[in-house]
Structure 1
Amino acid sequence: MSTQNIDRGWLHERLGTVVLWALLICTESAGQLFTKVAGDQLGQMNFNWLWLSEVARNPGILAAIASYIGAFFVWMLILRRSSLSLAFPLSSLVFVVVLLGSWLGLGEHISLLHWVGVGVIIVGIGLLAEGEES
């Protein structure tokens, strides 16, 4: 087997992993944001049949459920390629994307302390990734 085929396989595998991570972060973050919007639309939770029928028909809830189902299958694929000790901490990037989505898409105020927390998460992920054995 030539070095060129080995390099291409490594790049293909690495690119596939990056794509899977992007899909996971997007689907999980979308699920959170859809749930927030749907929850705001549904208002007060009175656990009765009428409210449950509204939940079952709400497009935001349906989109959130679809997002979480997609995220589950992508997560399964990621775990086939990665160790759980690295994958689980990397999944905390969802916190960063949800924060950005709530700020940019929902107009929520994000405090300085929250931004510092985002920085800590990113630095922590970088340290974990750096310490990962190849």
Structure 2
Amino acid sequence: MKTQTINAGWLHERLGTVVLWALLICTESAGQLFTKVAGDQVGQMDFGWSWLADVAHNPAILAAIACYIGAFFVWMLILRRSSLSLAFPLSSLVFVVVLLGSWLGLGEHISALHWVGVAVIIGGIALLAEGEEN
């Protein structure tokens, strides 16, 4: 009797890889932005039990922790299907998204030099991806 290969689903195909990368970049970036918001909300760090209690109940901190946990599991899935030599540089897209998020969402000023850095990051990723074997 001939056995058939069962399609493992979209998650194991190219679309799944794209979705995983989008999830990683979004969760990592959101974690950074939530951490910034929480840091602004908590204020001066007088380390002690009351400060820890404030941090533990801060919704932005809880959101950041959830984002980082989610990003960890997505990163594990990405590493199962990608070489580390490409995956790690590609993860630097988080820097670009955090910069955009801090500019659009937090109203931070972004200098021309920062925009040049974004272009360098994107260019570097493009060069690395071009050299990757299929």
Q: 2-side partners of 1:130 and 1:29: how far apart?
A: 25
Aligned to 1:93: 93
Quote the RMSD (CA, aligned, Å): 1.7
Equivalence for 2:65: 65
Name the residue aligned to 1:15. 15
Identity of aligned residues (%): 89
How far did residue 81 of structure 1 move? 0.5
Runs of 4+ in 1 over 4 A off after TM superposition: none
State TM-score, norm by structure 1.
0.91
Measure, in 2, the Cα distance between the counterparts of 1:21 and 1:76: 11
1:92, distance to aligned residue in structure 2 (A): 0.1
* Paired residue type of 2:84: L
Residue 116 (structure 1) shift: 0.2
2:75 corresponding residue in structure 1: 75
User: How far has the Cα of 1:51 moved from its partner?
Assistant: 0.3
Q: Secondary structure at the match of 2:114?
A: helix
CA distance in 1, matches of 2:57, 2:94: 26
* Corresponding residue pairs, total: 127
- Cα distance in 2 for partners of 1:47, 1:125 equals 40
Listed as ranges, the gaps of 5+ residues in structure 1 are: 1-8
**TM-score, normalisation: structure 2:** 0.91
- For residues 30 and 20 of structure 1, the distance between their equivalents in structure 2, rounded to whole angstroms, comes to 15
Spell out, residue by residue over 1:55-106, the C-alpha distance to the aligned partner (whole angstroms, 9 max, x if none). 0000000000000000000000000010000000000000000000000000
